Chain A
Amino acid sequence: MLRKIRIILACFFFVAVTLLFLNVSWNLNLWLGWVAKVQFLPALLALNFGVLAVLIVLTLVFGRLYCSVVCPLGVMQDVFAWAGKKHKKNRYGYSPEKKWLRYSVLAVFIVCLIIGFAPVTTLLAPYSSYGRVVNSLFKPLYDLLNNVLAGVAADYDSYAFSEVEIWMRSVTTFVVALLTFIILGVLAWRNGRTYCNTVCPVGTMLSFLSRFSLLRIRLDKDKCKNCSLCEKNCKAAAIDYKSGTVDYSRCVVCGDCTDKCKFDALHYEWALGGKDSKPVQPDSSRRAFLTGAALAVGTAAMAETKIKIDGGLAVIEDKQPPKRHTPLTPPGSQSLRNMNKHCTACQLCVSSCPNNVLRPSTDPMRFMQPEMSFERGFCRPECTHCSSVCPTGAIKQVTREDKTAIHIGHAVWIADNCIPVANGDECGACARHCPAWAIHMVDYTTKDGRTVQVPAINAEVCIGCGKCEYLCPARPFSAIYVEGNEVHHIN
């Protein structure tokens, strides 16, 4: 019973989070956005006390049900473990808690969280790890399928599907996601919840509470026939049938053991008043930690899908992102520091960005956190998607109207790239398209003495949307680009 309920709930959360990251439809995202916001670490970073209180009470009552139901990375590992068990039955065994490892990882994590050292926190955040896996590995496949359907739809004059651009936003993030997927997959296949009970900082945090949970799995030694099936099916390696104890710091309340026991010796029941199974003493470790997890990973960078080019048209060179001294973060993120402190690099905003503006950073200090660039689109005035999906408060909710008054950066002009200066053609694309009226064309004398019209930028008025950079005809580097403001200016 417990197991069935757990599986149904887990499926719901897992599918919902996955759909969110696949960015299946914006309306669906609005409906399902809450499944990201109830994730523990995002709620903690967003100081979402309501959610935190619910999660704490949930864990105090039911144990680490969170890890079995809500956390998508946990459920992903369960899927691998389930497949592993198909391959070889009764494959697990008890192992003692690796306290030193759990606590030192947690300590490092907390320190990094406080000082805002993003590379560690983003790598360890479990929900974000899953987000990256979907965003980097599955979303391209989903988009590919979508594009096939869009092609078919176009043949039948249907507008149900529209083609989307598939492109590599960041090679490093892709590699990290691939490694996460492979390492966790292998670990879960072989040993179940090893990662959750040794590395995951959320698992460790919740374990402090789950030790005292009201409802817990108990092994009734009187009924037990020492068949060891419960221990061999405990993916958390938390049951020691010989001593009849269960380690509640690691039990994720999956219910597999109660289902497996043929003698009705295992029950999920109130802890108060019954005989308690004490946490076991450390035993000699039977398994090497992280068994041969190191796997050679082919840097199979996915080939970027080629953009269609009709033969007789002028060839258009791809744009290259400029080197920005201050990276650009989306309206609502308030400042680089706020983004850096709150973001767990789950990539939900990257998945949701319909304009191909957001991508994960490769800067080690902001590792995989989102930043903006305008080679394929600009931050459209009517769009506030990233600010509505962000679960951690790294991008706070803004409205269309708010956006018009948030200056995330300011445009900068590069004379040598500018078309009128370079080849004498009239242009003015940037000035014509600027939604903030921040660009005006003025006379300018080139080095060879020609007078041409070039953009003059009113940096105080510029909101940094990037439309000028996107539409600038200079390639591969735009003659006008947006430099970030460390703290977004508001007026």
Chain B
Amino acid sequence: MTMNRRDFIKHTAAAVAGTSLLLTACNKSGAKTNKQTLENEETGKESDGEMTLRTNPNTGDKVSLLGFGMMRLPVVAGGTARENPDSPIDQEAVNEMVDYAMSHGVNYYDTSPAYCQGESENSTGIALSRYPRNSYFIATKLSNFSPQTWSREESMAMFERSLGYLRTDYVDYLLLHGIGMSGGDKDGMGAFYARYMDNGILDWLVEQKRAGRIRNLGFSYHGDVAVFDMLLRWHDEGKYHWDFVQIELNYLDWNYAKQINPRNTNASYLYAELAKRGIPAVIMEPLLGGRLARQPSTILRQMKEMDIDATPARWAFRYAGTPEGILTVLSGMTYIEHVKENCATYSPLRSITAQEDAMLMRIADELYNMKAVPCTACNYCMPCPYGLNIPIIFSYYNNCLADGLAAGDMNGMDKQFREDRKRWLVGYDRAEPRMRQADHCIGCNHCLSHCPQRIDIPREMQRIDRFVEKLKQS
């Protein structure tokens, strides 16, 4: 599906109006605000404007366009749990980020029992419970990672534990986690039934909603589109009502998700299906796990020529926040600088113009042609039973692609190539010890069912290994 995006936004607007949904757009879009925002950008990343708010048609919640994703929280040893898995969460830093976010209008906080090796909910609870309960919205999930948690009792206990950790007696937004992902030995559809239907847990959640312990019930979607379509059909039939749906959306996935991986679905389709029904969309992976924040110099140049002050991350957030059917855009922020920059980007949002949209679509073409691994470093695949550090290998490979390292021809004759080759290989050993590198993948396929991006991890490992071998031998 390669619908022109401007047309699409128009369609969407029409659809939104047609279904008489009053999604309040607080951004005073257009030239009027441009001047002021630009000035703000020039004076730093702080912004004096007001955070753009969107209205949830079901409850009337005024939700900040920036949502705080609590998946990549900082740990004491530095970085996130991805780099230092045994280190505890740096609660002080989390509190500081939440304080900044709260004071700049961010009121949507998205966590899960699975994030940060199970520590995220508690950390979120500690940070948020310092504020009045009605000043923020909590989103958490009924996670699906391990089939051991799929029983009715375990699921109910998981929900009760979430309330405990979050220090609250209700959840504003509860999601069925990762609809469409395979799990255990089941495919996407099989896993959905085993996880949410056969044990009657979805009905139990509907009861909880009726009892006021859940204010909005929705799901997050990855993987098999048949499950997504089925749940929306249920919505149409009145079998279940979805108050919101969380999807992956960014300017690369808009038209390319399916081309990058035939088992995935383009964001343009997912968004259209939701907008048609007036279901507010929550956006995840606006930066593709940070990949869209780090651009190759050729792309950076195009972005800077369009707007000298904007960072690649700002472009990505503006893109993800522009469609009006979007309730909030989640950002998994690790450092206070992320929070400041993202708050500035959405205070207020400047919608993407037709010209800008065309540029981003051109950039998406280029990114697609780079053949990076579409890993968002969510870490769901870890630990690899054979010791590989999968996300680190992918992010190293992608970063080198973005830096244009050793991208030239492999004849090994010119000096630049030799230097690049050395940087690549030395950097690879620095990123990961040799016994955890791509050549050690045995293709056991244990990781396959865990990847929400549905990356064929073993095949990508072999591709990277062939590239490394070629580098080493040249």
Residues on A facing B (Cβ under 8 Å): 154, 159, 162-163, 307-316, 376-377, 380-382, 419, 425-429, 432-433, 471, 473
Within the assembled complex, what's the spacing in Å between the Cα atoms of A429 and B429? 21
On whether the beta carbons of A313 and B435 are closer than 8 Å, the reply is no
On whether the beta carbons of A316 and B387 are closer than 8 Å, the reply is yes
Interface string of B409-440 (1 = CB under 8 A from A): 00000000001001100110110011110011
On whether the beta carbons of A154 and B430 are closer than 8 Å, the reply is yes
Contacting residues, chain A, for B440 (C-beta < 8 A): 429, 471, 473
Q: Quick one: given A159-B426, A159-B427, A425-B442, are A310 and B84 in contact (CB under 8 Å)?
A: yes
Interface string of B112-134 (1 = CB under 8 A from A): 00000100000000000000000
On whether the beta carbons of B389 and A313 are closer than 8 Å, the reply is yes
Q: Quick one: given A312-B383, A426-B444, A471-B440, are A381 and B81 in contact (CB under 8 Å)?
A: no
On whether the beta carbons of B436 and A428 are closer than 8 Å, the reply is no
On whether the beta carbons of A312 and B444 are closer than 8 Å, the reply is no
Question: Per a CB cutoff under 8 Å, which of B435, B439, B442, B465 touches A427?
Answer: B442
Within the assembled complex, what's the spacing in Å between the Cα atoms of A47 and B384? 54
The dominant DSSP class at the B interface is loop
Residues on B facing A (Cβ under 8 Å): 81, 83-87, 117, 382-387, 389, 419, 422-423, 426-427, 429-430, 433-436, 439-446, 462, 465, 472-473
Q: A311-B84, A429-B441 are in contact. List 7 more A-B contacts (CB 8 A).
A: A154-B430, A162-B426, A310-B389, A314-B385, A315-B387, A427-B442, A429-B440
Closest CB in chain B relative to A226 CB, distance in Å: 65
Within the assembled complex, what's the spacing in Å between the Cα atoms of A428 and B422? 30
Within the assembled complex, what's the spacing in Å between the Cα atoms of A293 and B452? 70
Output the nearest chain A residue to B426 by Cβ-Cβ distance.
A162
Closest CB in chain B relative to A421 CB, distance in Å: 13
Output the nearest chain B residue to A317 by Cβ-Cβ distance.
B387
Contacting residues, chain B, for A315 (C-beta < 8 A): 387
Closest CB in chain A relative to B82 CB, distance in Å: 9
On whether the beta carbons of B462 and A432 are closer than 8 Å, the reply is yes
Contacting residues, chain B, for A382 (C-beta < 8 A): 472-473
Within the assembled complex, what's the spacing in Å between the Cα atoms of A392 and B382? 50
Sample 5 A-B pairs with CB under 8 A, ordered by A number: A311-B87, A381-B473, A382-B473, A425-B444, A429-B441
Output the nearest chain A residue to B117 by Cβ-Cβ distance.
A312
Interface centre among B385, B426, B462 (most CB of A within 10 A): B426
Within the assembled complex, what's the spacing in Å between the Cα atoms of A377 and B429? 13
* 7 tightest Cβ-Cβ pairs between the two chains A and B: A312-B85, A311-B86, A425-B444, A316-B387, A162-B426, A429-B442, A427-B442
Within the assembled complex, what's the spacing in Å between the Cα atoms of A309 and B382? 15
On whether the beta carbons of A473 and B386 are closer than 8 Å, the reply is yes
On whether the beta carbons of A432 and B443 are closer than 8 Å, the reply is yes
Within the assembled complex, what's the spacing in Å between the Cα atoms of A428 and B445? 12
Contacting residues, chain B, for A163 (C-beta < 8 A): 429-430
On whether the beta carbons of B446 and A425 are closer than 8 Å, the reply is yes
Within the assembled complex, what's the spacing in Å between the Cα atoms of A154 and B434? 17
Within the assembled complex, what's the spacing in Å between the Cα atoms of A377 and B86? 29
Closest CB in chain B relative to A420 CB, distance in Å: 9
Within the assembled complex, what's the spacing in Å between the Cα atoms of A432 and B387? 19
Within the assembled complex, what's the spacing in Å between the Cα atoms of A413 and B207? 59
On whether the beta carbons of A473 and B426 are closer than 8 Å, the reply is no
Within the assembled complex, what's the spacing in Å between the Cα atoms of A376 and B434? 9
Question: Per a CB cutoff under 8 Å, which of A311, A381, A429 touches B443?
Answer: A429
Closest CB in chain A relative to B326 CB, distance in Å: 34
On whether the beta carbons of A307 and B444 are closer than 8 Å, the reply is no
On whether the beta carbons of A427 and B85 are closer than 8 Å, the reply is no
Within the assembled complex, what's the spacing in Å between the Cα atoms of A473 and B440? 7
Closest CB in chain A relative to B418 CB, distance in Å: 11
On whether the beta carbons of A162 and B383 are closer than 8 Å, the reply is no
Within the assembled complex, what's the spacing in Å between the Cα atoms of A426 and B441? 11
Contacting residues, chain B, for A380 (C-beta < 8 A): 472-473
Question: Per a CB cutoff under 8 Å, which of B86, B422, B441, B465 touches A159?
Answer: B422
On whether the beta carbons of B81 and A433 are closer than 8 Å, the reply is no
Closest CB in chain A relative to B350 CB, distance in Å: 34
Within the assembled complex, what's the spacing in Å between the Cα atoms of A163 and B85? 23
On whether the beta carbons of B444 and A427 are closer than 8 Å, the reply is yes
Contacting residues, chain B, for A432 (C-beta < 8 A): 443, 462
Contacting residues, chain B, for A473 (C-beta < 8 A): 386, 440, 442
Closest CB in chain A relative to B277 CB, distance in Å: 41
Contacting residues, chain A, for B442 (C-beta < 8 A): 419, 425-429, 473
Closest CB in chain A relative to B145 CB, distance in Å: 15
Interface centre among A154, A162, A163, A376 (most CB of B within 10 A): A162
On whether the beta carbons of B444 and A313 are closer than 8 Å, the reply is no
Interface centre among B433, B435, B442 (most CB of A within 10 A): B442
Contacting residues, chain B, for A314 (C-beta < 8 A): 383-387
On whether the beta carbons of B85 and A311 are closer than 8 Å, the reply is yes
Contacting residues, chain A, for B419 (C-beta < 8 A): 159
Contacting residues, chain A, for B434 (C-beta < 8 A): 376-377
